[in-house]
Amino acid sequence: MGYFGIIKSVTLSVAEYAKSKNITIHFECQIPYLTMKCDAEKIERILLNLLSNAIKFNREGGCVVVSISRTRKNLCFCVSDDGPGIPNSKLEMIFERFRQVDSGLTKEGEGSGIGLSLVKSLIEMHGGSISVKSVLNKGTQFIMELPIKKDEDNS
């Protein structure tokens, strides 16, 4: 299937969950279909984690956007929300295992603090990188860049 199909499929699979939380999901793709070699199960896990966080920590009536673009060498996909955001002082620690942002901005008792650590590890296993941008009371954006690797048979 490749990244494009996986990202679209997972995004659609959480639509009902988002709707139940009064959250809108938008899918934006700025590139033509692209088949690439990847570990589908791990890409699904990455995206499910990011989408569930974007929905869980968003505000009622909020919006989540999943977008796909590319550079010459990388596929870029982004999960953005317009929730409460993450304080700048906490951005570095969110990828650490068993760490969570412990302020009034998060929902108490939600999760183990392992999800974003796992996401980062899985992205790095694919030779990629992840970064985060956040503005308090405006939202958070997770940006993943993965090297474009075509299956030898499709080169």
Structural contact between residues 64 and 56, judged by C-beta atoms closer than 8 angstroms? no
Looking at the structure of the chain, the number of domains it has is 1
**Residue partners of 17: CB distance under 8 A and separation at least 6:** 52, 55
The pairing of strands 63-70 and 129-135 is unpaired
CA–CA separation, 1 vs 67, rounded Å? 18
Q: Which domain, by its residues, includes 31? A: 2-154
Identify the three-state secondary structure at position 28: strand
Furthest-apart CA pair in the chain: how many Å? 51
CATH number, residue 89? 3.30.565.10
pLDDT given at position 105 = 45
Structure tokens at 109: 């008792």
What string of pLDDT tens digits covers the 155 residues of the chain?
566 678 888 988 999 999 999 999 999 987 776 666 777 889 899 999 999 999 999 999 999 999 999 888 888 999 999 999 999 988 888 988 755 555 444 444 455 467 899 999 999 998 999 999 999 999 999 999 998 876 553 44
